[in-house]
Amino acid sequence: MSSTAVPRPKPWETSASLEEPQRNAQSLSAMMTSNQQDSRPTEESNNSNSASESAPEVLPRPAALNSSGTYGESNTIPGIYGNSNYGIPYDNNPYSMNSIYGNSIGRYGYGGSYYGNNYGSFYGGGYGAGAGYGMNNGSGLGESTKATFQLIESLIGAVTGFAQMLESTYMATHNSFFTMISVAEQFGNLKEMLGSFFGIFAIMKFLKKILYRATKGRLGIPPKNFAESEGSKNKLIEDFQKFNDSGTINSNEKATRRKISWKPLLFFLMAVFGFPYLLNKFITKLQTSGTIRASQGNGSEPIDPSKLEFARALYDFVPENPEMEVALKKGDLMAILSKKDPLGRDSDWWKVRTKNGNIGYIPYNYIEIIKRRKKIEHVDDETRTH
């Protein structure tokens, strides 16, 4: 807007009517340090000279400033100072003044926001607490969602349990398989050991026979076929060679062994497939017993429709405790759910379900039990004709 060559005239030089800004500027100069005050007069004299030169151009401005310059517009002064090039002391001091104002304004603003935050948070907290209180006491939405989440949780738990069961079954099968393998390996080792043992035994026997023959009966053991082997020493050697070369005798043994070698395989297969089957049976049994126990824990036995007994009301019954008892009209039909009290003891008050679906307790001497299914139809016909 303004250049170094043509500085803008100061407001108090061009217009005497702006008294308030002038006072502000004087207070500004009072706040300056002595050093800045020393430098000020020289600059002012320069500026006044330049202002007098360029006065005709900028003269119309003060009138506009005057017309719009209301009482509170003193803060336009720092802006004018800041934009012009009066020098460092002038430039700095209006800004410092401005910063003081700004600081104070900021402080007020901060105070306002502080109070606002405080009250706001207080009211917000109070409202939140009230809402929480309502949620906890209300047995409607909160309870139902809670139950739903519990159901979901239990479902996830069941699925996880099932997955773990499958995994453990797999691990058990795996382990049993490797156990079988190791057992078979051990049997193989045993067979080898026995074979080598008997091989050694045969050699020992053979050596003893040789010894007996060499010492003419003083050491070793006499061979069974002494009379024969006396004449034919070669036959024994042939037998031994046959045994070692797995000749005719061994081939017969092998055939029989191959025949019975299906047994362990069958046993192994049975173990592999039968073990999970037995495990499954066991688990289902456990589950059924668990469900029965759980339902009994709720105070109601599992209802078996085929064994369900029906009864007919002999008299009207007005419940004294409507929460636990159920109303009866004479001739009403009902299903007897339980002849026991919630603790499982025999009771004179039975739990029934009426035709309306209401479940409650009634005195046993107000009803008569209908014995058979045919009789129910008969009674139904009776009630219909009446």
Q: Does 95 bind another protein (CB under 8 A)?
A: no
User: CB–CB of 117/109 below 8 Å?
Assistant: no
368 lies in the binding site for another protein (CB under 8 A): no
Q: How many residues bind another protein (CB under 8 A)?
A: 19
Residue among 25 and 326 whose Cβ is closer to another protein: 326
- Asked if residue 365 binds another protein (CB under 8 A), the reply is yes
Q: Which of 81, 86, 310, 361 binds another protein (CB under 8 A)?
A: 361
Q: Does 298 bind another protein (CB under 8 A)?
A: no
Q: Of 239 and 325, which CB lies nearer to another protein in the complex structure?
A: 325
Residue 350 makes contact with another protein by CB under 8 A: no
Provide, rounded to whole angstroms, the least separation between the CB of residue 347 and another protein.
5
Residues in the chain: 386
67 vs 365 by CB, closer to another protein: 365
Q: Does 67 bind another protein (CB under 8 A)?
A: no
- Is position 348 an interface residue for another protein (rule: CB under 8 A)? yes
321 forms part of the interface with another protein (CB under 8 A): yes
Tell me the C-alpha to C-alpha distance, in Å, between residue 34 and each of 37, 38, 86, 95.
Answer: 5, 6, 18, 18
Spatial neighbors of 247 by CB under 8 A, at least 6 apart, are 241
Query: Binding string, 122-141, against another protein, x = CB under 8 A?
Result: --------------------
Judged by beta carbon, residue 198 or residue 315, the one nearer another protein is: 315
The footprint of another protein (CB under 8 A) covers 314-317, 320-321, 324-325, 341-343, 347-349, 361, 363-366
